[in-house]
Amino acid sequence: MRYAVSLLLWCALTAGLAGLYQLEETAPPEDASADGQTPLVLLTEDGPRQTTMADWLPFALAAEMPASFGGEALKAQAVALRTLALAGGRHADANVCTDAGCCAAWLDEPALRARWQDGYEENMAALRDAAAATDGEYLTYGGQPIQAAFHSSSAGCTEDSGAIWSPLPYLVSVFSPETEQDVPDLVSTVTVPAEEFARTLDLDTDLPPERWLGPLARDAAGRTDTLLIAGTAYTGSRLRSLFGLRSTAFTVEWDGQAFVFTVSGYGHGVGMSQYGARAFAAMGIDYRHILAHYYPGTVMAVWSPAGAVPAGKSPA
């Protein structure tokens, strides 16, 4: 499972399909599907590897979302991953890498067999079905594949990309339906003793700990924008990184012994919430509507070796 896709997702925002056909010497794939006919260069720890979208996608899907999430959520995640790979732009010598902090997580068959044991065949069948059911489908904006950010869970609404990265019109704050009943540890706490808190922030103050915390400013999505600590403003993203918080949707208070962060959700909060997608699917909402909700204004297209074939505007 993802958790996501991080700030490094935006190491480049280049659009287009550059690099998909850079390996002219590769023999045409035998798989007649759109994904099977789409060459892909996967950057692994051992270097670039030639593969196809059909071979890469189920194993990336396995690493990013539990197979138990069900058909419509898995289909939505499959489209998001395919879109991410088609957008590319993060590496000069590959379309996508196996680093979840940059592109997308990926696990090979031995790793998945070790994880799932006797459940391997059943789980992989569900993932391959989700990939096949969305064969070639990806999301576009202005005719180009989008930066299909996703994260584990949000609390009430997702984050606006402009709050932490460059703003994009299809990565805006929207409602997300998951609750504490849907998500294990949707609300978590982190307790930091005063000495560790001061050391981590390199605080230089004579004030007692109970006076260190100042006003907390929230962004439009309700997440922490800035928090004043001993006269210095810290961004929510910076505090999340420094204290290992699961998201920037947090509050913090001094309890007389330590500073206690109460955190909602997991991940950067931008784009599709994976648990939110599962919750929508449980309501009977199909993957196209799920994607249209989390990536408003995008258009679904179908990729083929001959080029992109518009599939019409995603459902509103």
pLDDT at 155: 85
SS3 52: strand
**In percent, how much of the chain has pLDDT > 90?**
83
> What tokens were used for 140?
């576009």
> What tokens were used for 25?
């010497």
Structure-model confidence comparison of residues 307 and 255, the more confident one: 255
Judged by average pLDDT, the poorest of 5-14, 197-206, 229-238 is 5-14
pLDDT at 4: 35
Q: How confident is the model at residue 307 (pLDDT cuts 50, 70, 90)?
A: low
Q: What contacts 24+ positions apart, CB below 8 Å, involve 177-183?
A: 177/276, 177/279, 177/280, 177/283, 178/153, 178/154, 178/273, 178/275, 178/276, 178/278, 178/279, 179/279, 182/275, 182/278, 182/279, 183/153, 183/266, 183/275
pLDDT at 70: 87
Alpha carbons 302 and 90: distance in angstroms, whole number: 22
What is the average per-residue pLDDT within 268-288?
A: 97
Give the pLDDT confidence of 11-35 residue by residue, as tens digits: 322 223 333 333 334 444 567 799 9
> What tokens were used for 139?
């999301």
Cβ pair 299, 141 in contact under 8 A: yes
pLDDT at 31: 72
Is residue 167 over pLDDT 70? yes
Judged by average pLDDT, the poorest of 10-19, 201-210, 258-267 is 10-19
- pTM for the model: 0.85
Q: How confident is the model at residue 306 (pLDDT cuts 50, 70, 90)?
A: low
SS3 199: helix
SS3 109: helix
Q: How confident is the model at residue 54 (pLDDT cuts 50, 70, 90)?
A: very high
pLDDT at 42: 95
What sign results for the dihedral spanned by CA atoms 270, 271, 274, 275?
positive
